[in-house]
Every structure is written in structure tokens, then in C-alpha cells.
């Protein structure tokens, strides 16, 4: 064999060895806890909820799953557990659509939870393409198929995280490594499952959630140059199709699971923006509610809560950072309302809350600067 | 199919290599046909619906080329044939690439209500240009008669088909005809693998690694002064490592087949002037524009004023070649202006004393880099308004964030800058010489150093481990 041939084979073998070494490292450390809960090494978690959810479903003990968009992402599972008397995991994902949410919930159903707390709105049903057409949700990790496992094991980024977690497990290195662990350099900077995507205790709530921010966002929304974004993707027929495929089908196929579905207390400005800049979108929103509420109430395992007309909260703009995102204080209120079943939609009058909302939107006048 | 995908690295490439060399033992033609067919399969993965368009384009250009090369036509008839051929190519390119842009502008001007929704076939700009060059050379009498399989392979050759380098028939077809390329050469395969590894590392670890920082300038929120600079510089390095990584991978893959592709990058951010920059950035496009646009327009043969006009036309069209948008027109025009200023300075500016040569060169590198960075703002921005908004933030040092995040990002950008400015480039590391058809001679004559070999294996391993799903090359859009 010539020297060049020998070098070629050496090159190929050494490359294979390094790649296999990385895969072994990822398997042993298992940063996502996909194969087993963390025992040998300290558990670390990622704020990337689409990825982390796959690991949480496998590694945590739970009987309740909470799901939603960014509006429901700052809940602390410990608060949910305390107020509702459950053992929960949080699988909410920023900007998620109904198909992503349904897909992740279906994966969680394999662990047989008793209850799902699902923050739902019309927005998630607008644009919900097939799971594998998106690039953000690692669907194969949830499916735990060969492709998903291989992608996880043969990932250099994951090997870097594994090395970091490994270093953190070595006592003399632990303080230094912990000090440099942050979300900028490492994808798994969170050491407690309860802290994933929550506001830190020192977070400036009043500075972030205030009427000025909410009104500024409102004005931007209704600015004629940008207002077309309000109507983006709103198509009644498509929304109903997505609703049937993603929500109704999942509920129907899990009759033993109680679904607490709630519509979050968006600020009144969200609907007023539609009223002022895109009335046709507001009509679709109303029409969609008029279709979805009676449909959901057909299922005995659904409890439907509508918080959109809770005037004390929705008209107090100091609760909001923009037209929809409320403060952690309201998160706790939502939990107490869910526990007290204070705003449960009455099957005898499924559209009563919608009519109240319509009246509020009609009557509301935005204060001028 | 992407070079940075498992299916390409572990399935497609090994199979095509095995088939090529297995057929090469029996025939000279079969490996060429095999490689052309494999290239069509490769292309079909990116958009099977456009395979027919590619085949029609090859047939059309080969036919036109045949008329120009073989029959004895009069000069007028030859010119008519050439005009038909080039116009045909440009019409197809115009329909697929520019019809939407044209309609959008008509709508903006006259509220015409035109709706044009045409999907851009992958690689159309590249294979159209290579074939226009072939037709022009055939007209000039610089082309021998090529066999159809060799010509088809020249156009479809999968290492370059999607995003270049832009190949020249005179360079490639004789290589496809050589018997030696059909026999496996372990040295070339190893060097090809190492070059491929460097390219893959540039793409998956460097370009994809810095990509999230680009949102600092071009994201949904209005950037501060430092965020705008971080984002724009991040894009400056992302684009370089992405495209030069792709070019390295193309060169490396081709080398495994024994075929030398032309260089496309030569450390462009080390350029001491804009003229120098264009000799180092997307070199095959620069050569094409020079030989088939700038020189036919008259080049510098008709006085200084016309030279500047020709430069502006060339760069404006070069910008438009990248994409059907006013941002690309602005980018091309800006570089045209840069080149005119550069030439004017060379002609009329003061000459620096030799003792300041080093200082002048350093200043030249800094100024050229800054000019290129400003150009990339137009190249990356979705529209002219955004480009000016980002530039205005870059020019407003009163609004600075510079928190923990920005400091960390600035450090990342500094590391990338150090790589681009001070690290040797791929051809320097590997001793790749396209003209002499040689590579890694130092490695061949001396026993390969284990450290070099294992460092290269680590680069390939990290490159493979860094593969992310759905990470396309930026130049696929052009």
C-alpha cells in the first residue's frame, strides 16, 4: 500500500473515531435527558423550549402538561402545582402554532397525563403547516426515531454542551464552570427545571409591563404602514380546518384526559387594534370563537375558560408589555381562576363571554397621548 | 442536495466516486456519462421540476455552439446565430429571475396589477453564464468541437452546478477527456477530502455559528450603534465563510475525481484596494464579467471616461446578476463607484513613499474592508429603506447598548476577523495550484506529518458534527 493510501485510511479511521467519541459522550452525558433522568451528572436545562420539551417529556414525572405560546411561557411549574394541586411540566413554545402544540402534546400523551392546561387563541390556528416542513421543532426527537436519535448523538453542538456539563460535574471545576455558564455561550444554562423560561426574581416587572409599552405597541400595530400584519394569515376556513385537525382530534382521541382550555386575558388593545385597523380580522376572530366554543363544549373532557372579557385585568394596561403579553402577576391570577373555575364557559350559553367582549371592544376608546 | 448533509457525505458522494472509478477501468466515456447522470440526480434533489429546463438549456446551447463551430457560415450568419443563442439564454434567465422584479416595479409605477409568481430554478444564473461564455468563445473561434456527454458534464458537473465556481469550458472539458482522471489517485482523494473538510468546517462551524448574530442589525428590533456594527460585521464574515466554504467543498469534491476547479476566493478581506478585492472575491465571476462584459464593452481601450462608464455598467449588471432587487443594483453600483475612485486615485493620487509601504498597505486593507462592509449592508438588507436605516444606526454613536450580550458578540466577531485577516487560506494550507494542476506537493514529497493529518481529521469530524438541518448556502439564492 502506498504512503498516500495509508494516510487516506488513517484519515478516514481517525475521523470516524472522533465522530463516534462525540456520540458516546452525548449518550453518556445525555444533556437533554432523552435516554434517562440525570444521575451521574448535574441536570441542566435549555430555554429553547422546542428542543427541551422532548427531554422533559422523557425525564420528568408529571400528571399535568401546560401548553401555549409566549403568553403562557413564564409560568413556574411549581406555581401551577401549588395552585392546582398537580405535578406539571411546561411545554409552551414561543410563537408556536396549533400543529406544533398538538404534536408535542401527543408526544406527552404517551406518558399518560391526567390533565392538559392549554392556552389557546385564534392566532395559533392561522398558519399551521406540516410538522416536518418547519425547521424549528426537532420533530424526530419527539418521535424518538433513528433519525432523531442520530441527529442528537452526532451533534457537535450537543457534544460541546456534554463536555460543559461533564466539566461542571468535576468538583474543583464546578464553581468556575458555573460562573461561565450562561445562555450566550451554552444552550443548557438552567440548573433547575422550575426556572426554565421564567422571569428572574430581580426582573424589573414595572419597567417592562406598563401602559406606555402597551400603548406604544398598539400605535405601531395600527400604523397604516404596518397594520397589514394584523390580518396576516387570517382565513376562517383554514383556521377551522386547523382547529379540527389539531385541537378537536387530540381531545377526541384522549377521552381520559381533562383539557382545561383557556383564552388568555389579552389587553383590550389587541381587539381594538383589529377594530381600528382591520375590522375583517376582528370579524374572523369573533366568528372563529362562535365556531370553536360550542364545538369544544361537545366534549365531556373539556373545561373551557374565557378570560378575554375580564375587564379589571384587560383594561388595566399597566399589566402588559405590549397588546397581548401580561405580567407574571396575571399568570398567578390565571392559575387561581383556573383553580376556582371562575370564568368557565357555560355550555348553556357558550357565546355569552364573546358577546361581553364584543360590547367592551365596541365601547373602548383609546386615550390620546 | 446540500454538500453539508449526511445523505451527500455518506451516501451520494461515496457511491458516485465508486461508480466513476469502477467504470473508469473499462471505458473512457462511461465515467463521463455516469458523472453527468449523477449530477442530474444531484440537481433533481434541489428541484426536480427544473431538470427538464436544464436539459433543454444544454441542448439549445450545444446546438447553437455546433452551428458556430462546425458549419462554414458567413460572418453575418454567425453573428445572428450567436445573438440568437445569447438572447435565448438571457430571455430564459430574465423570465425566471427577473420577471417578478419587473412586474413589481411596473405595479409600483403604474399600479398595473401584474401578478408574476415564478420559482427561481436553482443554479440558473451559474449554468447560464457558463454557457454564454461557451457560445461567445465558439463565435470567436476559440472552441474545439466537444462531444455531447463532455459538454453536458461541463454544464451539469455537480460540484459547481448550484453555486459555482463559474467554470470555463477550455479549463474543464480537456480534464474530463483525460484518461488519468478516471483512475483513483489516493493522494488527490486525500487532499480533496482535506479541502472538503476545511470548507465544511467553514460552513457548519464558522458561518452557521455566527449567523444568529446577524439579527443584531437585521432583526425585528431597531439596533443601537454597536448592535448594528456587530450584526453587519457578523454578516460580513458569515457570507465569506459560507461562500468560500462552499467553494472549498466544491474544489475538494472535484479533486477526489481528479478534476481541478478554479479558485474562487483568495482571502478577500486581506485586499489592499477594491481592485484587489475583486481579484480575490468570487474570482470566477470577476473573470467572467471582465472577459465577457467589461472587455466587449470596450474596457479601458477608449479613454478614461468610457472606462469608468464601462466599469459602472459591469458592476451594476454584476449586482443585478446576484438577485432581482434594487438592493443588489445599489450594491453593484456602489462597487462600481468604489472601483472608479480606486482607478482615479491610482491615476491621479499621490504615490506613497516606499518607506510608508507597510503603513499604506494596512490603511488600504482597513479602508477596503470598511467599503466592503458598507456594501454588504445593501447586499443583506431586504430593501433599500432597511439598508439606509441600518447604515444610519452605524453612523450614530450616541445610541450604544454594549451590555453583556454585545460584549460577548463583539468577542465572537473579533475571533472571526482574526481568522479572516491572519489565518492562511485553504490553498495556502494545501498548496493548491489550479494552473499547474498540483496540490499538496509538500505532503507528497515528505511524509505527511501526523499532527497535520490528525488536525485535518478533527476539522472534518467537527465539520460533520456541526451539520445542522436545513442550513442552505447563501449563494444558492443567486
Tens-place pLDDT, residues B349-403: 888 888 888 899 999 999 999 999 999 999 999 999 999 999 999 999 998 888 8
Q: Do A19 and B404 touch (CB under 8 A)?
A: no
List all residues 6 or more positions away from A79 whose beta carbon is below 8 Å from its beta carbon.
A331, A332, A335
At residue A61, the pLDDT reads: 93
Q: What is the distance, to the nearest Å, from the Cα of residue A135 to the centroid of all Cα atoms in its chain?
A: 16
- Contact in structure between A168 and A177 (CB atoms under 8 Å): yes
**Which chain B residue's Cα is nearest to A26?**
B465
Residue range A70-88: mean pLDDT, rounded:
95
The stretch A116-130 carries a mean pLDDT of: 93
Question: DSSP code of A137?
Answer: S
pTM of the prediction? 0.84
Share of chain A above pLDDT 70, in %: 99
pLDDT value at position B446?
Answer: 61
What pLDDT is recorded for position A127? 86
Tell me the pLDDT band of B445, cut-offs 50, 70 and 90. low
Q: Is the pLDDT of residue B329 over 80?
A: yes
**Does residue B259 carry a pLDDT above 90?**
yes
- Which has the minimum average pLDDT: A24-33, A111-120, B341-350? B341-350
Share of chain B above pLDDT 70, in %: 97
Give the whole-angstrom CA distance, residue A239 versus residue A244: 9
Mean pLDDT for the stretch of residues A299-327: 95
Nearest CA in chain B to A183: B405
Q: What is the mean pLDDT of residues A246-267?
A: 96
Q: What integer pLDDT is reported at residue B354 of this predicted model?
A: 85
Q: Which residues pair with B438 in a beta bridge?
A: B433
- What's the whole-number mean pLDDT along residues A85-103? 95
CB contact under 8 A, B190 and A4: yes
Residue B169 near residue B142 (C-beta atoms within 8 A): no
Core vs surface per residue B13-30: b (16+ CB within 10 A) or e:
beebbebbbebbeeeeeb
A141, containing H or E segment: helix A139-143
Structural contact between residues B42 and B1, judged by C-beta atoms closer than 8 angstroms: yes
A337 vs A314: CA distance, rounded Å: 14
Provide the pLDDT for residue B477: 59
B194 neighbourhood in chain A, CB within 8 Å: 11
Span A11-25, pLDDT tens digits? 999 999 999 999 999
Dist. CA B25–CA B20, nearest whole Å: 9
Tens digits of residue pLDDT in B296-321? 888 888 888 888 999 999 999 999 88
pLDDT, position B472: 64
Residues of B in contact with A8 (CB under 8 A): 186, 189-190, 193
DSSP 8-class letter at A154: T
**Which chain B residues are within 8 Å of A7, Cβ to Cβ?**
186, 190, 448, 453
Checking if the pLDDT of B189 tops 80, the result is: yes
Contacts A–B by Cβ distance under 8 A: 63
DSSP state of B292: I
Report helix, strand and coil shares of chain B as percent, to nearest 5. 75, 0, 25
- What was the pLDDT predicted at B475? 64
What pLDDT score was predicted for residue B207?
94
Is the CB of residue B186 less than 8 Å away from at least one CB of chain A? yes
DSSP A117: E
Residues in chain A: 369
Cis peptide leading into residue B165 (ω within 30°): yes
B465 has a chain A CB within 8 A of its CB: yes
CA atoms B336, B341, B347, B352: torsion sign: negative
How far, in Å, CA of B95 to CA of A8, rounded?
A: 47
Nearest-5° Cα angle at A186, A47 to A206: 45
Of the listed ranges A213-227, B153-167, B463-477, the one predicted with least confidence: B463-477
From chain B, pick out residues whose CB is under 8 angstroms from the CB of A156: 204-205, 462, 464-466
CA distance B17 to A18: 24
C-alpha cell at position A112: 399518560
B248-B250-B251-B253 Cα dihedral, nearest 10 degrees: 120
The strand order across the sheet containing A302-306 reads A88-90, A64-67, A115-119, A258-263, A302-306
| pLDDT single digits (tens) B203-233 | 999 999 899 899 999 988 889 999 999 999 9
- The residue among B10, B439, B455 whose CA lies nearest residue B192 is B439
Q: CB count, 10 Å around CB of B230?
A: 26
**Is B322 annotated in the active site?**
yes
Nearest CB to A19: which of B190, B465, B469? B465
Say what the pLDDT of residue B473 is: 65
Per the CB < 8 A criterion, the answer to whether B135 and B61 are in contact is yes
Q: Which of B160, B168, B169, B322 is catalytic?
A: B322
CA-closest candidate to residue B184, choices B10, B404, B18, B427: B18
Q: Do the Cβ atoms of B33 and B149 come closer than 8 Å?
A: yes
pLDDT grade for A28, boundaries at 50, 70 and 90:
very high
pLDDT range class, residue A103, cuts 50, 70, 90:
very high
Whether B233 contacts B413, CB under 8 Å? yes
| Three-class DSSP category at B146 | coil
In this predicted model, what pLDDT tens digit does every residue of B151-187 receive, in sequence order? 999 999 999 887 778 888 888 888 998 888 899 999 9
CA distance B466 to chain A (A): 5
pLDDT digits (tens, 9 = 90+) for B72-88: 788 888 899 999 999 99
Span between the terminal Cα atoms of chain B, in Å: 16
B455 Cβ under 8 Å from any chain A Cβ: no
pLDDT class of A366 with cuts at 50, 70, 90:
confident
Instruction: State the pLDDT at residue B447.
Output: 62
> What percent of chain A has pLDDT above 90?
76
Q: How far apart are CA A147 and CA A279, in angstroms?
A: 46
C-alpha cell at A351: 357565546
Residue B453 to residue A10, Cβ atoms within 8 A: yes
CA–CA dist B68, B143 (Å, integer): 9
User: For chain A, what is the radius of gyration of the CA atoms?
Assistant: 23
Amino acid at each position: 500500500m502506498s504512503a498516500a493510501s495509508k494516510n487516506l485510511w488513517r484519515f478516514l479511521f481517525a475521523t470516524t473515531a472522533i465522530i463516534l467519541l462525540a456520540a458516546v459522550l452525548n449518550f453518556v452525558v445525555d444533556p437533554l435527558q432523552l435516554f434517562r433522568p440525570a444521575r451521574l451528572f448535574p441536570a441542566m436545562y435549555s430555554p429553547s423550549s422546542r428542543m427541551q420539551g422532548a427531554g422533559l417529556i422523557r425525564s420528568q414525572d408529571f400528571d399535568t402538561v401546560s401548553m401555549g405560546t409566549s403568553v403562557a411561557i413564564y409560568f413556574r411549574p411549581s406555581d401551577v402545582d401549588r395552585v392546582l394541586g398537580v405535578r406539571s411540566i411546561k411545554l409552551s413554545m414561543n410563537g408556536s402554532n396549533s400543529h406544533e402544540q398538538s404534536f408535542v402534546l401527543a408526544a406527552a400523551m404517551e406518558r399518560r397525563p391526567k390533565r392538559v392546561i392549554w392556552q389557546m387563541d385564534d392566532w395559533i390556528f392561522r398558519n399551521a403547516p406540516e410538522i416536518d416542513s418547519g425547521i424549528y421543532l426537532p420533530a424526530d426527537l419527539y418521535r424518538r426515531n433513528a433519525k432523531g436519535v442520530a441527529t442528537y448523538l452526532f451533534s457537535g453542538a450537543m457534544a460541546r454542551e456534554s463536555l460543559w456539563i461533564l466539566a461542571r460535574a468535576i468538583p474543583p471545576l464546578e464553581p468556575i464552570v458555573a460562573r461561565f455558564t450562561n445562555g450566550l455561550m451554552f444552550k443548557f444554562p438552567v440548573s433547575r427545571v422550575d426556572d426554565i423560561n421564567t422571569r428572574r426574581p430581580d426582573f424589573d416587572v414595572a419597567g417592562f409591563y406598563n401602559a406606555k409599552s402597551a400603548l406604544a405597541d398598539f400605535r405601531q400595530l395600527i400604523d397604516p404602514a404596518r397594520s397589514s400584519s394584523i390580518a396576516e394569515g387570517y382565513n376562517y376556513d383554514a383556521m377551522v380546518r386547523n382547529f379540527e385537525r389539531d385541537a378537536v382530534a387530540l381531545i377526541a382521541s384522549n377521552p381520559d384526559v381533562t383539557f382545561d382550555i383557556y383564552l388568555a386575558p389579552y389587553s383590550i388593545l389587541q381587539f381594538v387594534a383589529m377594530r381600528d385597523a382591520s375590522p375583517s380580522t376582528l370579524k374572523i376572530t369573533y366568528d372563529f370563537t362562535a365556531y370553536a366554543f360550542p364545538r369544544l363544549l361537545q366534549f365531556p373532557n373539556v373545561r373551557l375558560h374565557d378570560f378575554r372579557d375580564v375587564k379589571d385585568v384587560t383594561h388595566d394596561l399597566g399589566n402588559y408589555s405590549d397588546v397581548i403579553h401580561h405580567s407574571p402577576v396575571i399568570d398567578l391570577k390565571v392559575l387561581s381562576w383556573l383553580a376556582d373555575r371562575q370564568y368557565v364557559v357555560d355550555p348553556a350559553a357558550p357565546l355569552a363571554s364573546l358577546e361581553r367582549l364584543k360590547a367592551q371592544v365596541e365601547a373602548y376608546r383609546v386615550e390620546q397621548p | 442536495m446540500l454538500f453539508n448533509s449526511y445523505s451527500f457525505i455518506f451516501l451520494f458522494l461515496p457511491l458516485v466516486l465508486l461508480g466513476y472509478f469502477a467504470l473508469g477501468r473499462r471505458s473512457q466515456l462511461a465515467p463521463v456519462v455516469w458523472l453527468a447522470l449523477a449530477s442530474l440526480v444531484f440537481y433533481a434533489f434541489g428541484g426536480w421540476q427544473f431538470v427538464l429546463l436544464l436539459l433543454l438549456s444544454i441542448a439549445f446551447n450545444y446546438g447553437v455552439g455546433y452551428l458556430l463551430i462546425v458549419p462554414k457560415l458567413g460572418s453575418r450568419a454567425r453573428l445572428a446565430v450567436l445573438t440568437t443563442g445569447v438572447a435565448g439564454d438571457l430571455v430564459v434567465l430574465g423570465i425566471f429571475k427577473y420577471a417578478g422584479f419587473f412586474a413589481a416595479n411596473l405595479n409600483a409605477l403604474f399600479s398595473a396589477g401584474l401578478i408574476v409568481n415564478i420559482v427561481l430554478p436553482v443554479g440558473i444564473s451559474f449554468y447560464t453564464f457558463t454557457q454564454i461564455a461557451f457560445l461567445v468563445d465558439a463565435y470567436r473561434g476559440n472552441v474545439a468541437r466537444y462531444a455531447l456527454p463532455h459538454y453536458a458534464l461541463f454544464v451539469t458537473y455537480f460540484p459547481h452546478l448550484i453555486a459555482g465556481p463559474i467554470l470555463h469550458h477550455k479549463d474543464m472539458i480537456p480534464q474530463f477527456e483525460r484518461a488519468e482522471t478516471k483512475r483513483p489517485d489516493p493522494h488527490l482523494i486525500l487532499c480533496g477530502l482535506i479541502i472538503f473538510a476545511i470548507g465544511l468546517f467553514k460552513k457548519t462551524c464558522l458561518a452557521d455559528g455566527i449567523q444568529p448574530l446577524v439579527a443584531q442589525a437585521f432583526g425585528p428590533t431597531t439596533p443601537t450603534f454597536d448592535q448594528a456594527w456587530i450584526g453587519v460585521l457578523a454578516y460580513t464574515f458569515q457570507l465569506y465563510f459560507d461562500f468560500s466554504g462552499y467553494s472549498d467543498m466544491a474544489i475538494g469534491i472535484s479533486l477526489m475525481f481528479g478534476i481541478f476547479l478554479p479558485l474562487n476566493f483568495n482571502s478577500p478581506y486581506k485586499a489592499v484596494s477594491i481592485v484587489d478585492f475583486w481579484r480575490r472575491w468570487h474570482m470566477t465571476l470577476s473573470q467572467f464579467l471582465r472577459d465577457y462584459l467589461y472587455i466587449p464593452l470596450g474596457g479601458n481601450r477608449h479613454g478614461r471616461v468610457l472606462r469608468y462608464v464601462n466599469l459602472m455598467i459591469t458592476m451594476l449588471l454584476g449586482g443585478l446578476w446576484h438577485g432581482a432587487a434594487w438592493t443588489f443594483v445599489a450594491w453593484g453600483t456602489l462597487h462600481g463607484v468604489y472601483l472608479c475612485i480606486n482607478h482615479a486615485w491610482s491615476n491621479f493620487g499621490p504615490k506613497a513613499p516606499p518607506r510608508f509601504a507597510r503603513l499604506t498597505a494596512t490603511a488600504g486593507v482597513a479602508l477596503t474592508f470598511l467599503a466592503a462592509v458598507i456594501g454588504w449592508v445593501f447586499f443583506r438588507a431586504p430593501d433599500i429603506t432597511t439598508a439606509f436605516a441600518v447604515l444610519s444606526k452605524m453612523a450614530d454613536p450616541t445610541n450604544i447598548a454594549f451590555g453583556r450580550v454585545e460584549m460577548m458578540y463583539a468577542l465572537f466577531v473579533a475571533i472571526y476577523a482574526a481568522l479572516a485577516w491572519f489565518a492562511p487560506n485553504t490553498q495556502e494550507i494545501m498548496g493548491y495550484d489550479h494552473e499547474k494542476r498540483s496540490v499538496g506537493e509538500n505532503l507528497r514529497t515528505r511524509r505527511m506529518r501526523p499532527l497535520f493529518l490528525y488536525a485535518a481529521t478533527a476539522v472534518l469530524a467537527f465539520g460533520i458534527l456541526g451539520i445542522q438541518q436545513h442550513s442552505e448556502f447563501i449563494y444558492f439564492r443567486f
